Structure 1
C-alpha cells in the first residue's frame, strides 16, 4: 500500500471514530436528560410493564421501515443502483445522526454507508432530503387531520401542523423540488442532476405518501404501547383503540415539530408537545412519564439496531465512479465486491 493510500485509510478511520464519538455523546446526553425528567416526577421505572416498552421500541423500528424503503425507491427512481440491504442499513444507522448538533450527520452517515453501483453522492444526498421532507409533510398533514376531527380545541397545535404540512408538502411537489435543487447549483457537482431528478415524479411521491402513512400509523401504535406500559394510564386506556387518534396525532406532531427545530433529537420540544396533548386526558405526571419513556424506548431501539447493523458488513459491487463524482461506497473502507442484485 502506498503512503498516500495509507494516510487516506488512517484519515477515514479517524473520521469514523470522531463520528462514532459524537453519536455516542449525543445519544447519552438525550438519555440522561430523559431519565432526570422522570426522577423529577418521583416515578419509579420498577412500576412499568416492560414487555410493552419493548413493543413500543419494536413498533418504532417497524414504523420507520416504510420510510427507509421509500428512500431506497427515491434513489432508484433517480437512476442510482444501491443494494437494498445497504440502503436499509444506512437508513437506520443514519438515524443516530439526529442526536448530534446540526443534524447534518444524518446525511453524512447515510451517504457514506449506502453502497451499490455508480452511486453519486449528490443524488444520494438529494434523495435523503426528499425522503425527509416527505416524512415531515405526511406527519404534519396526518396530525392536522386528526386534530381537526377530534381535537379542534387545540387551535395553536392545529395551526402549527397545517403550516408545516403545507410548507413541506409544497416543497416536495416534484416540479418545485426539482427547481429548488437546480437553484442550489447542484449541477456544478453533477452535470447530469437534471436527468436524475426527472425520475422524481408524482407517482413516486404518491408511493412515498402511502408508505409514510403506514409508517406514521405504526409510530402512533408505539405511543399506544408506551401508554399501556404505565399502570397509572390504565383507567384512560380502558377504551382501547378509541384513544388511538389522540396518540397518533400526538406522536406525529411531536416528531414533526421536534424535527424542524435545530435542537439535537428535538430534545425538550418533542416532550413539550406530548405533554401538552396528553396532560388534559392522562394528567401531568403520566404525560411527562409517557413523553420521557417514549424517547428512551426509541433511543434504545435505535442504538440496539444500529449496533447490530453496523456489525454486519454491507457487501456491495465495485462502483464505476461515473461523472467523475466520488460515490459514497468509494470512500467507505473495507468494501467487499459482490454481485449486483437483479
Structure 2
C-alpha cells in the first residue's frame, strides 16, 4: 500500500512539473500538444482506491478458485492411482485447506495440512504426503512450461525465458514417474510405510499427461483472474490489448510469477511473485496499474482461499477415524490405464 501511495505522489509531482513546463509554450504549438498528451497519460494512471470495481474482483476470486480445481482433481486421481480411496468431498476439503499452509515459511505446512485432513482408514498419511508433492510439482512444471512457450512468442527478454525453462526443469523432472520412484526409495520412506512401493508403482506417464492437460486449463483460468483484476482498476480496461494477446501476456505473467514464488520458499512467494507481475505488466499497463494489480491480486486470492477454506471446514465433514469401506458411487475411479503396467 505504501508503494501505491508513493507512486500516486510521484504522479502528482510529474503533473505539477508538466503544468509548469506547459505554461511556457505558446498556444497551438506542437510542444503544448505533446505536453497535453503526456498529461492525459499521467492522469489515466492517477486514481483513488474507492474507484475500484468490486464486481470484477469477485469475478477474479471465482476464476482463481476455478483455476485451482483441475489441480484438485489431478491430486484426487493421483491418490486413486496410488491405491488410496478418498472421496471427492474429502479431497476437496483437504486440497483447499492445505493452500493456507503456503503462507508459512518453507511451505511444509501445505503437506502437513493436506495429509492430515485426508488421512483415514482408506488413505495412508505417508502416501498422501507423497501425492501432494506429485500434484504440486506437476502444477509448477506445467506453469513454467506455459510461461516459457508464451514468452518465446511475445517477449524479447531472454532472462525471463531462461528463468521459465529453469523452473520447468526444477519442478518437472522430479515428477517423472521413474525419477519420483527413485527419489522415494532414496529417502527410504519404506521405513515409514512398507506399502509405499506398491503405492508409487501406480504412478504412470499417462497419469502425468492427464495432469499436464487438465492443469493447463487451470493456469489459463488463473490468467483470466488477473484479467478480471485489471478490469476492476480504473484505466485497466482502456489499457487492455485485444483479448487473445492480453490472455497470452496475463497467463505468462501469472504462471512465471507463481512458480518463481513457490520455488523461492518464501511465505506466499511474497516479493518474488509481486516483482515479476509488475515487471511483466509494466510495459503494457504502466508501473502504477501493474503495482495496483499485483497488490489487488494477492488480496483477492488470499481472501478467496480463506473464504473457501472456512466454508469447507465448517460444512464438509473430514474423513472418519473408523474403518469405512469406499462407496463406489461416491468416488472417482482411477482408469486402469493410469496404473503402471
User: What aligned pairs does 1:101-250 form with structure 2 within 5 A after superposition?
Assistant: 101-151=105-155, 153-237=156-240, 239-250=242-253
In the aligned structure 2, how far is the partner of 1:253 from the partner of 1:223? 13
In the other structure, the counterpart of 2:327 is 340
Give me the TM-score of the superposition, normalised by structure 1. Answer: 0.81
In the aligned structure 1, how far is the partner of 2:312 from the partner of 2:325? 18
Corresponding residue SS for 1:82: coil
Structure 1 alignment gaps of length 5 or more: 1-34, 321-336
Q: Does 1:259 align with 2:262?
A: yes
Pair 1:87–1:37, CA change in 2 (3 A): farther
Give me the TM-score of the superposition, normalised by structure 2. Answer: 0.82
In the other structure, the counterpart of 1:279 is 282
In the aligned structure 2, how far is the partner of 1:319 from the partner of 1:209? 35
Question: Which 4+ stretches in 1 moved above 4 angstroms?
Answer: 317-320
Q: Judge conservation of contact 2:117–2:319 (CA < 8 Å) in 1.
A: no
In the aligned structure 1, how far is the partner of 2:97 from the partner of 2:2? 26
Q: Judge conservation of contact 1:217–1:248 (CA < 8 Å) in 2.
A: yes
In the aligned structure 2, how far is the partner of 1:78 from the partner of 1:262? 27
Q: Judge conservation of contact 2:57–2:232 (CA < 8 Å) in 1.
A: yes
In the other structure, the counterpart of 1:47 is 51
Q: Judge conservation of contact 2:106–2:266 (CA < 8 Å) in 1.
A: yes
In the aligned structure 2, how far is the partner of 1:171 from the partner of 1:86? 27
In the other structure, the counterpart of 1:74 is 78
In the other structure, the counterpart of 2:11 is none
After superposition, give the CA deviation of every residue in 1:71-126 in whole Å (9 maximum; x if it has no partner): 11101100001111010111001101101112111111111111544321110000
After superposition, give the CA deviation of every residue in 1:264-311 in whole Å (9 maximum; x if it has no partner): 000111010001101111111011001111111111111111111110
Q: Judge conservation of contact 2:190–2:196 (CA < 8 Å) in 1.
A: yes
Q: Judge conservation of contact 1:63–1:217 (CA < 8 Å) in 2.
A: yes
**Alignment length (residue pairs):** 291
In the aligned structure 2, how far is the partner of 1:265 from the partner of 1:109? 16
Corresponding residue SS for 1:244: helix
Pair 1:185–1:319, CA change in 2 (3 A): farther
User: What aligned pairs does 1:282-321 form with structure 2 within 5 A after superposition?
Assistant: 282-314=285-317, 316-320=319-323
After superposition, give the CA deviation of every residue in 1:160-217 in whole Å (9 maximum; x if it has no partner): 0011112222111110111011101101111121111111001111111111101101
Structure 2 alignment gaps of length 5 or more: 9-46, 330-341
In the aligned structure 2, how far is the partner of 1:291 from the partner of 1:68? 25
Q: Judge conservation of contact 1:139–1:253 (CA < 8 Å) in 2.
A: yes
Corresponding residue SS for 2:107: coil
In the aligned structure 2, how far is the partner of 1:141 from the partner of 1:63? 17
Corresponding residue SS for 1:231: coil
How far has the Cα of 1:141 moved from its partner?
A: 0.3
